[in-house]
Structure 1
Amino acid sequence: MLAEGPNLAGLLEKIRSRDAVIGIVGLGYVGLPLALAAAKKGFRVVGFDINSGCVVELNAGKTPLKHIPADEIKAAIRARLFEATDEFSRLSEPDAIIVCVPTPLGQHREPDLTFVEGTMEAIAKALRPGQLISLESTTYPGTTSKICRPILEKSGLRSVRDFYLAYSPEREDPGNLDFTTHSIPKVVGADGPEALRLALALYGSIADRVVPVSSLETAEAVKISENVFRAVNIALVNELKMVYFRMGVDIFEVIEAAKTKPFGFMPFYPGPGLGGHCIPIDPFYLSWKARAYGVNTKFIELAGEINADMPRWVIDRIANVLNGRTRKSLSCARILIVGVAYKKNIGDVRESPALTIMQLLKERGAEVEFHDPHVLAIPPTRDHSRLAGLRSIHLTPSIIAAYDIAVIIADHDNVDWHMLVKSAPAIVDTRNVLKRLGFEEEKIVIA
């Protein structure tokens, strides 16, 4: 093990004095908030991204994410504490590099670490002694030590001896105003005590609280366990929703009453399906890795099946409401989707159940349009290419009334729900937003 030498002592002092330069690779929903949080704490941040258009926008003080104010980016630029670049040859400049790149699934639900591996290859080409490298991308235990470390060591430098390696799972919740990057505790694991000491110093300078764990693998397991926990519990309430529907019981009323118990119950809420980059994807990273150890993750697989089937449940409810109220079938219906983001108050459509629902409706012959104040147009996606380019429509009472049914997928705060309820012939509400707001009209159906 490396005794405390000039690299370690020097980098610790740079972090403490805010003289360390931080590089952040990936300026999306995780990397950009982290970059701005570090800049607010006085660090100079160089953000790296392969999207040249995004880099140009950021350096002009524009925000690519609606929930990140442009004024925060402009303030960091004015203070000369933030710049974006697509020149990965500059990765030798930062003293600490934090990697926040996507970890999607392949076509057969296998982990796709292409972005992580590519980033580590780029870092290896520029790696210099004394740098701290921290991965934040969600992945299975063993990724940092068995995939990232060997790639970095192709440089001829060695972890522990020459550079420092850590893992700290991202915990961003876009659109959540109650928790920000600096207020969410940061779990940190590292390759050896020196790397852990540096990583704790770095993250402790940005976040209000850091939580050290014993290894890289433990830190990786923390994040994936958090998301498995959510996926399984959401699947449970989705299944309860279907059971209670048959019994004529309102699942949302059940949950509101059950959560008054001060112990032994934690509320989770059903919906039209899972969305976002984490919950629909991360549990399958663990189930895939578990098979290598001869373990069949039955809970995870079953939860995935239930959650993935929710869009079809919503389609059935839409068909039933149309048939009962308008005597129309899906094949000749005009359907308005309200909210295509995967959750309220953001513009992120990654893995959004709205896209699956829209595509299924179109395959059944329905005419489908959408309104979303946070999504101007649906971007190209691998699984929903037919929807790419569809634009959000402006809502007026007459426009709403021209549809046979409105279907609420994302319960954004800035939708005129009063106008929707007054004008729509029928409404399927997958988020229970209208009942929460006090609407009791018979034409509203919870799904």
Structure 2
Amino acid sequence: MNHKENLLKKIEEKKAVIGVIGLGYVGLPLSLEFAKKGFYTIGFDIDERKIPILMQGKTYIKHIAEEKISNVVKSKKFTPTSDFSKLSECDAIIICVPTPLDHHREPDLTFIKKSGEQVAEFIHEGQFISLESSTYPGTTEEILQPLFEAKGLKVGEDFFLAFSPEREDPNNPSYSTSTIPKVVGGVTPACLEIAQKIYDQVIVKTVPVSSPRAAEATKLLENIYRSINIALVNELKMVFDKMDIDIWEVIEAAKTKPFGFQAFYPGPGLGGHCIPIDPFYLTWKAREFDINTKFIELAGEINTFQPYYVVQKLSEALDKNGKTLKGSKVLILGASYKKNIDDMRESPSLKLIEILQNRGAIVSYSDSYVPKLPPTRKYNFEMKSVELNSTVIKSYDVVLLSTDHDNFDYEMIYQNAQLIVDTRNAFAKRGFYNIVKA
């Protein structure tokens, strides 16, 4: 039996050992899905602090229930580890590591390259490797394939390689890892066949495309589409504000059209790992072909400007109250990049803190999902979340809503705040008016 048939048989019989590199917002839920479906799954992470937490059946990502982890740990279907030599035990290896931008806004593939080198060290005949990290078209074949072939193995015969972009939306009530269709692109037809077979075990539907490059481009298109449309409403927000028109009212009216319009909403800036970062991977790659990606770059400029616009609106609102931004006490509501999760990746709240502090404001924040601001690649604020009550709210010159968590007591905040600046239309949605929208 050849390597392809042998691996397909192992997958069919649930005897294939699955390895997932990166136990974050993408890799951990994917690991749990494979383990839940009966596959012995090994989760790899360089952060050794995560391993004992998971071994105890606990979680470090709030929207992932501890019961899911404890069930697969107790059943011995899931083993987290920082020992990458165990990659040699895996039949399928899925790479789910970050792909940030460097300080020049160019792709930083450090994590992909290091993961590829670790896989190459322990690769053996018959293994399948899939990359899920968002990246520019060509990464799988230009970066990973040569690393593995340097070991004397031939892709499509001795090992199998594919790209399948992650589509996680943390804490989405309607869709989860297993219910979001999965795009897959294999280097060869055999690679694609195995990729579909593996993901079909845990995902509701696989969507095959002709190549890893097509799959890599699919993820970029999805996020570029969102980035450009969010930039559009952010720009219109600023234009309509000058015209004394409420952008939120306009969007609600426009979305009653049953065709030709999809609602996107403005905010204080872009957050999460995908939309603020992925489009620039294509911008960078396009330069290789002497193409300027004007839409992407313009959208990036508009979205990057939003935290500065919010601070400008907040400063103007304070002026009307007879106060200056310098020396004013500002309470930011929400630190995560979207509501009801603890995900801090690229959160605009961090940029808001930086701008406000640089302008001389005294800044605090409140977010029960983020009790303490963790250090990030760009920021290292020594701040803890403020517990909200009427006395605390009254003590601030202005309350700035950045992330509209459902667990905020909006009525209590409204009744006690001296001034509210809302970037998410959260107060108006709940029937509270006479606030500043930004």
TM-score, shorter chain, exceeding 0.5: yes
**Equivalence for 1:276:** 272
User: Which of 384, 387, 399 does residue 394 from structure 1 map onto?
Assistant: 387
**Pair 1:27-2:23 in alignment:** yes
User: Which of 248, 254, 260 does residue 258 from structure 1 map onto?
Assistant: 254
Shift of 1:18: 1.2
Trace 1:146-165 onto structure 2 (pairs within 5 A): 146-165=142-161
User: Which of 192, 195, 215 does residue 191 from structure 2 map onto?
Assistant: 195
> Is the partner of 1:155 in helix, strand or coil?
coil
**Pair 1:381-2:372 in alignment:** no
CA distance, structure 2, for counterparts of residue 262 and residue 230 of structure 1: 20
**Equivalence for 1:339:** 334
**Pair 1:248-2:241 in alignment:** no
**Pair 1:434-2:423 in alignment:** no
CA contact (8 A) 1:373 1:415 kept: no
Code of the residue aligned with 2:307 in structure 1: it is P
CA distance, structure 1, for counterparts of residue 341 and residue 151 of structure 2: 40
CA distance, structure 2, for counterparts of residue 424 and residue 128 of structure 1: 63
CA distance, structure 2, for counterparts of residue 416 and residue 50 of structure 1: 39
> Is the partner of 2:106 in helix, strand or coil?
coil
CA distance, structure 2, for counterparts of residue 238 and residue 86 of structure 1: 42
Code of the residue aligned with 1:173 in structure 2: it is D
**Equivalence for 2:416:** 423
Code of the residue aligned with 1:410 in structure 2: it is T
User: Which of 390, 399, 402 does residue 406 from structure 1 map onto?
Assistant: 399
CA distance, structure 2, for counterparts of residue 412 and residue 337 of structure 1: 12
CA distance, structure 2, for counterparts of residue 14 and residue 162 of structure 1: 16
**Pair 1:64-2:55 in alignment:** no
**Pair 1:324-2:325 in alignment:** no
**Equivalence for 1:80:** 76
**Pair 1:230-2:226 in alignment:** yes
Shift of 1:437: 1.3
CA distance, structure 2, for counterparts of residue 382 and residue 180 of structure 1: 28
Shift of 1:332: 1.6
CA contact (8 A) 1:189 1:213 kept: yes
CA distance, structure 1, for counterparts of residue 278 and residue 26 of structure 2: 15
**Equivalence for 2:287:** 291
**Equivalence for 1:48:** 44
CA distance, structure 2, for counterparts of residue 332 and residue 110 of structure 1: 37
Bigger mean CA deviation after superposition, 304-313 or 350-359: 350-359
**Equivalence for 2:437:** 446
Q: 1:182-206: CA deviations, max 9, x gaps?
A: 1000000001111111100000111
Shift of 1:384: 2.2
CA contact (8 A) 1:342 1:348 kept: yes
**Pair 1:179-2:172 in alignment:** no
Code of the residue aligned with 2:153 in structure 1: it is L
Gapped regions of structure 2 (runs ≥ 5):
none
CA contact (8 A) 2:3 2:157 kept: no
CA distance, structure 2, for counterparts of residue 202 and residue 78 of structure 1: 24
User: Which of 360, 367, 371 does residue 365 from structure 1 map onto?
Assistant: 360
CA distance, structure 1, for counterparts of residue 121 and residue 237 of structure 2: 52
**Equivalence for 1:348:** 343
CA contact (8 A) 1:106 1:112 kept: yes
Gapped regions of structure 1 (runs ≥ 5):
none
CA distance, structure 1, for counterparts of residue 336 and residue 126 of structure 2: 42
Aligned length: 438
CA contact (8 A) 2:33 2:178 kept: yes
CA distance, structure 1, for counterparts of residue 59 and residue 339 of structure 2: 19
Shift of 1:247: 0.4
CA distance, structure 2, for counterparts of residue 158 and residue 12 of structure 1: 18
Code of the residue aligned with 1:301 in structure 2: it is E
CA distance, structure 1, for counterparts of residue 17 and residue 430 of structure 2: 48
Shift of 1:155: 2.0
Code of the residue aligned with 1:272 in structure 2: it is P
**Pair 1:109-2:126 in alignment:** no
**Pair 1:127-2:143 in alignment:** no
Q: 1:295-337: CA deviations, max 9, x gaps?
A: 0000000000000000000001100111112x11011200000
Q: 1:317-365: CA deviations, max 9, x gaps?
A: 100111112x110112000000011110111111111111111111111
CA contact (8 A) 1:235 1:307 kept: yes
Shift of 1:145: 0.4
> RMSD of aligned C-alpha atoms?
0.8
- After TM superposition, what 4+ stretches of structure 1 lie above 6 angstroms from structure 2? none
CA contact (8 A) 1:322 1:328 kept: yes
CA contact (8 A) 1:29 1:174 kept: yes
**Equivalence for 2:209:** 213
CA contact (8 A) 1:338 1:409 kept: yes
CA distance, structure 1, for counterparts of residue 36 and residue 344 of structure 2: 29
> Is the partner of 2:11 in helix, strand or coil?
helix
> Is the partner of 1:265 in helix, strand or coil?
coil
CA contact (8 A) 2:4 2:157 kept: no
CA contact (8 A) 2:7 2:91 kept: yes
CA contact (8 A) 1:44 1:81 kept: yes
CA contact (8 A) 2:227 2:299 kept: yes
What TM-score results when the alignment is normalised by the length of structure 1? 0.97
